[in-house]
Structure 1
Amino acid sequence: MEQIKVLIVDDEYLIRNLIRKRINWEEQDMTIVGEASDAHEALNMVDTLRPDIVFTDICMPFIDGIEFSRMVTEKHPAIKIVIITGHDEFEFARRSIKLGIADFILKPIHAAELLNVTERLKKKIQEERTRKQEFEKLKEELRQSLPFLREKFLNRWILQRLSASEILEEQSFFNLPFTEGNLLRIAVLELSLTTPEQTQEQNLLLSMDGRKRVEAFFSGSPESVVFMDNKNQIVVITDVRGRDVAVDCELLKKDLIHSLKCFVCIGVGNRHSSLRDIPIGYREACRALNYKTFVGKNQVVCYEDVVESGEQQYRSNPELLEELHFYISAGAAEKAAAVLKEILRFPFSEVSQMRLAAMDIIAQCQNIEAEQKINGGDTLNKDTLAAVLLSDNLPDIQKKLEAHIAALSGSINAKNSTKAGYLIERVKDFLNKNLSSPDLSLVNTAAAFFVSPGHLGRLFKKATGQTFVEYLTDIRIKRAEILLKTTELKGYQVGDEVGIADPHYFCILFKKKTGKSVNEYRKGTKCNA
C-alpha cells in the first residue's frame, strides 16, 4: 500500500518546521509532499499533489483555516484535515467539526499528541483504502460477471412472467434496448451437425460458432439481443419496427447453412407489445421450432403459420404435461391416459391446434425415453407422428397417443420389473450370506445396496408376498431346522448361527414357526432317523 501523503499549511515557518521534525514520518509510513504558507498556495497544491492529510493553522492571512478547510472538503471530501489551534481558539475551532474536520492539535505541538493523531488517521486511511480496493475488486468481478448475469436474467425473463417494475429495473441495469409498447418478436434457432454421430463437444462448438454468426448478423440492429437459452438454443429478441423478422431469419438460415455446414431450424413467435409477454413469445417460437418434425430440417417456421387464427388458440399446460410425464415414467398407463384426455379436452378450433397438443405429448414421451434410456423409441415416435399428420380428427389422434403412451409405459414397467427382480435376487443372496449377523435389518441391507429402506421394503413385498422381516425370519428358522437336523449344536448355539442371539426369543420364535420346541424338533428328527 502506497505511503500516506501529508501537506502542511501554516503562515509561520517555525511551526511548519516543528511539525516536520517532531516525529519520524517514514516510520509512520507517511511522507510530507509539500508545505504552504497561506491558503491560496495550499489550494493549488491540494489539486496538484492530492494529499491524504492536511495540517492547517486556524489563523492565516487572507483565508483562515476554517474557510480553507471548507473549500478543501467540498472539492476533495476524502482528504483528512487536522486543525492546528491555540487554547484561546479551540472553542472556535471545535465549532468547525460540521465541516468534516478529522482532528485537532493544540499549540504548543507535542510529539506524543502528533503521533496519536497520525496513528488514528493512518488507521482510518488504510481502512478506507482497503474498502476501496475491495470495492474496486467487486466492481471488476461484477464487470466480468455481467455477461453471465445478463444471460441469466434473459433466461429467467423468457421463462417467467415477471412484474413490469422488475423487468424495467433489470432492463436498465443490463442496458437492454427494448421499450414498453413497441412490437417485439422472438426467434429460437436450433443448430445440428449433418453427421449422424455428434459429440457433446462438437455440439457445444457448433452452438458457440452459431451464436457468433447470429450476433454478427444482427450487429447492425441495436434493438436486437442475442443469447443462449437453457436448452443450448440461440434466442433472438428484436424490435420489429422497419423489419420483417421472418425474412431476416430466412437470410440468416442460408448464411448459417453455408458457413457452418449444419442443419438449421428456426421458430418465430408472434408479435407482442408488452415486455411482460416475452415468455409467451418464447413459448410460441419453441412450439414453432418443434414443428420441424413435420416440415423437416433447414426450415423457418412462424407460429402464426402453424396455428391458424381462432377464438381460442392452444397453449401448453405445463402442470398437466408434468403430471403426464410423472405417470408415464412410473409406468402408470391408466393414470397417464386420464391426464392425456384432460390435455386433449381443450376446445380446439383447428386441426393444427390438435397437432400442437399432440406434439407436446410426444415431446414428453421423447424426454422420458431419453431419461429412462428406452431403446426403440425413435421408431415408435415416428409412427405416432406419421399417424398424427394423417389424422384430421381428435378421436383418431387421441387413440394413437393412448397406444403410444401404453406402449411406452409397458416398456418402462418391463424394464423396472427386470431391474427389481435382479435386485431382489442379490438381496436374498446377501441375506443368506450374512444370516448369522444379529444386526441384519431392512435399514442396513438397503444401505448396502444404495436404495432407500422404503423402496426395498415395497419391492420385497411385491416380489415375495412377505415383508422383509417376515422373509428374514423364515429363512432364519429354515436354517435353524437344518442345523438341528445335521449338527449337535445346542439351541442357543443354533440361535447364534442364524443371527438370533437371545436364546429365549429364539425358542419362542422357533416354536411359533414350526409348532415344536427346539428339543421336541430335535427328538422328532432323531426318531425319524
Structure 2
Amino acid sequence: MSLLKILIVDDEVLERKALTKMINSSTMDVMVVGEAANGRKAIEMTLEHKPDLIFMDIKMPGIDGVQAVKEIKQLYPSIHFIMVSAFNTFEYAKEVMQQGVKEYILKPSSKQDILAAIERVSSEILEERNQQEEQKSLRDHLDRAVSIAQKEWVSSLIVNQVQDITFDEWSELLGVEITSGYIMLFTLLQPASADLTASEKQNWYIWLKDTLKDVVKKQEVMIGPVTDTQVPVLFLCKKPTEKMHFRTNAQMFLESLIHFFKKESFRGDIRIGIGHPYSHAHDLNKSYHEAVLALEQLMKVPNRRYRFCDRQGTAFELPAESGVLEVEKKLLEAVRQGDVNQVLFIFDSFITRLESNKTITPSWVKKSFDELFILLSRMLHDLGIHYERIPAIDESDEVYFMFEKGKAHLLAVVQHVQLWRNNHAKGMLQKAKEYIERHYAESISLESAAEYVELSPYYFSKLFKDRFGLTFIDYLTEIRIKHAKAEMMSPGKSLKEICYSVGYKDPNYFSRVFKKATGLSPTEYRKITVS
C-alpha cells in the first residue's frame, strides 16, 4: 500500500502539532500532509491535498466538524475520518455515523489509541483499494473477453456459420430488445504516396472502435476483426427498422463519424459500404455481402465516403441464391479443416447444380468468386495464415474456365492450410509456450501472447487448449506457481517479494491463487517445505 496521506483538523494549535508529531514519528506508512484550524480551511486543504484520512475535531468555530464531514463526503466519498472530541456526546457521534464515519476518539488520547485507530482505518482503506483493483481487473478482463467474443461473432456471421442464434436470444444475452440487424464494412484507403504501416492501421482500428461507441445511439455495435484496412461492423437495432428510418439514422451517425475523422491526421481516407437490415439473424450474412458490393461500387465514385447497397444490384437476387450461402459455409469449413476431399466434393456438386441453370452469367460467377475469396482471405487472416495469391478470374473467360480457376485456387489454399496445420501451428504454439515461460514474471495477456506468434486471440486460445490441454491462463498460473514454490525455498525472501517476482501485483490475490492451485496458503506451504 502507498503512503497514507493524513490531514489534521483542530482549532487548537497545540493539539494539531502534538498529533502531527505523534503520527509522523510512528513507524507506520503514513504522513501528515497538512493542518487546518477550522472546517472551512479543512475543505480547502482537502481539495488541495486529497488526503486518505482526516482527523476531524467536532467542536470548532464557524463550520464545525460534523458539517465539514458532510461537505467533504459530497466531494470525495472515499475519504475516511477519525472524529476527535473532548465531549463524549452520543448526539455528535450519531450525526457523523450517519455519514459513514466509524472511528471516534476522545481528547486527550494516548499515542497507542491514536495509532490503533489509524491502523484500523488503514486496513479498511487497503481492503477497499484491493476490491477496487480487483473490480478494475475484472472489468478489463471482461472488456477484452467481450471484444474477442464480438470479433468472433462478426467473423462467424460473415462466413455464415451462425445459423442457430435468433434475435430473441441475442436480446436476452445483451439485455435489450433486438429486432433487426445489418452490416457496414469500413475501410481506410491506402494513400497514393506509400502504404500504411501496421501501427497506422492499428491506430485507425482503435479510433474507429472508440468513435463508433460515441456516435452510435439506440443500437448495439459489434466490431469485427480488422483485415488489412477493412473492418466489418454489426449493428443490432432495438426498434423495428423501416427503410427510411434506417437510412436516416445511419446517415446521421456516419456524418458525425466522418466529421471526427476529418479532425484526425490519418493518411488515406475512409470509405463505408452499407448492407440492408434484416429481421432474422440468419440473413445477416446477406447484409455483409451487400456491404461488400456497396463498397466495391463506392470505389468507382470519387469523393463519396459511404454508399448504401442498391438492392437491384445485389447478387442475392440472381439464380441459385438458396444454395450459395450454404455452400460457402461448407466450403470455408472444409478449407479450415484442411480436408481436400470435402472441398472437391462440395465444390463439384455446387458447380454441377449451377451448370444446369441457364441464367448463370460470367459476371455473376466472377462476383460470386470474388466474394468467396474475400471470405476465404478473412478466415486465413484470423487463423494467422499468410497466403497472398489471388486467382485471375476474368469476365471474358468462359464460365467453365472460371470454375476451373476457382477450383484450382481452392485446392492451392487447402493444401497450404494442411501444411500450416501440420507444421506451422505446432511451431507457433511451442513458440508461445516458450514466450510464457520467459515472460511469466511480467504483465502478459492472452492478447500479447497471440500477437507475439501472429495469431488472432480467438484461434490462439482455441489451438493452445487443443494442443496442450490447458487454457492460456491456466498454463501461465501453473508456471507462476511453480516458480513461486522454488523461490519459497529461500528463507531470505518474503512472500510479498515472491508474489511480485512471479508476476502478481496483489499479495492477497496471489495467496488465493496459490491456495487454489496447491490446497495450502503460501505461509502454510512454506512452513511444511522449509521446516
TM-score category, normalised to shorter length: 0.3 to 0.5
Which protein has the larger Cα radius of gyration, Structure 1 or Structure 2? Answer: 1
Q: What TM-score do you get using the length of structure 1 for normalisation?
A: 0.44
Q: What TM-score do you get using the length of structure 2 for normalisation?
A: 0.44
